[in-house]
Structure 1
Amino acid sequence: MNGWKIEVDEEEVKANEEDEEEMEAEEDEDMEVNDNKDENHAEIIQPYEEVNPFNRAEKNNMRMDSFDDDLTALYSTLRDQIQEMKKFMAELNERLQQIQERDIRAENEMLRIRLRATEEKAKIRNQLPLKRRYRERPYDPSTNTTSHPRCDDPYVMVRDNAVCADAASDHDGKGVDTTDVVKDAGE
């Protein structure tokens, strides 16, 4: 080439080979580190996952796995409980119907009693004389506390008209006797 003779020293060759091996080892380590970056994240482990059959949940009577995956035992247990619930619901429904029928009979009996009482009252009322059938209300002073008659009172208006008519008419100077009319209305 250019006339220089290149002497290759075995020590240098060994040193170069060692350097190359170290470089390859470092590259492999870098590759492993880069590959492990995804693996360095925390792994979420489901404790009851079926991946590992030896990592099973503890037996618990409140969980459905307490039957050891025996579906026939689960089915028979549930079927028995469902049958008991159906019987219980049928008994409750029958009892409710009995109570409703009893209430209807009691209500009908009360209506019959009220009807009989009303009929008896009507029968007795029809046997009484006319003036005893209706009671006059007792005097209640709190209803009318005025001492003078009011102008718009119908009784006062009729009385005043009767007095005016009496004064206007000439019945031989006797006037109209209103006591006879009042006595007839009271009887």
Structure 2
Amino acid sequence: MRRLSPVHWVESPGVRPFWAITRHADILSVELRSREFAAAPRTYLASEIAEAVLQQITGKPQVVRGLTEMDEPDHGAYRAILQASFGPAALRTLEEWLGDWATQTVNKIAERDGVCDFAADVAAPFTFRVVARLLGTPESDDASLLRSTQGFVGAEDPARQMAKMPTEAIRHAMVNLR
């Protein structure tokens, strides 16, 4: 697809049609032209059934409206609120902690003979802990919050099993994320 149709209109049964932008340069072009290309209402694919269930459960098209789902003027307003917390000065105050956290992460992998799934064992938990620390959530909540967050973003992924959760469990998880 990338070679033959790098910007492609996709129509697939059970999923609302969408544009697939497959080349890096084209993705950058879209990202830099936010006035022409909207982020909302969806930034990830879900079946029409999953979208309907989510709307029924939450009354909204998404569980949490993050920066990636926002267009201007909301995106700029929320980004401005968060900028100081995630900017270079804030991260400098975490420098020692970040080094320690990176060392702990690498040591855990070394204990398993250096074998790991980088995305699952390093990228996701490491990044999540950094953001969670900036937000003030305790490390003891990381596993459940990360699982819930990943489940909402990839609710139909069988590995995440959120699509099989009873409605009440989903509501409970959403309340804990707020």
Shorter chain as denominator, the TM-score bin is under 0.3
Tell me which structure has the larger Cα radius of gyration. Answer: 1
Q: TM-score, normalised by structure 2?
A: 0.18
Larger strand proportion of the pair: 2
Structure with greater contact order relative to length (CA < 8 Å, sep ≥ 6): 2
TM-score normalised by structure 1 residue count: 0.18
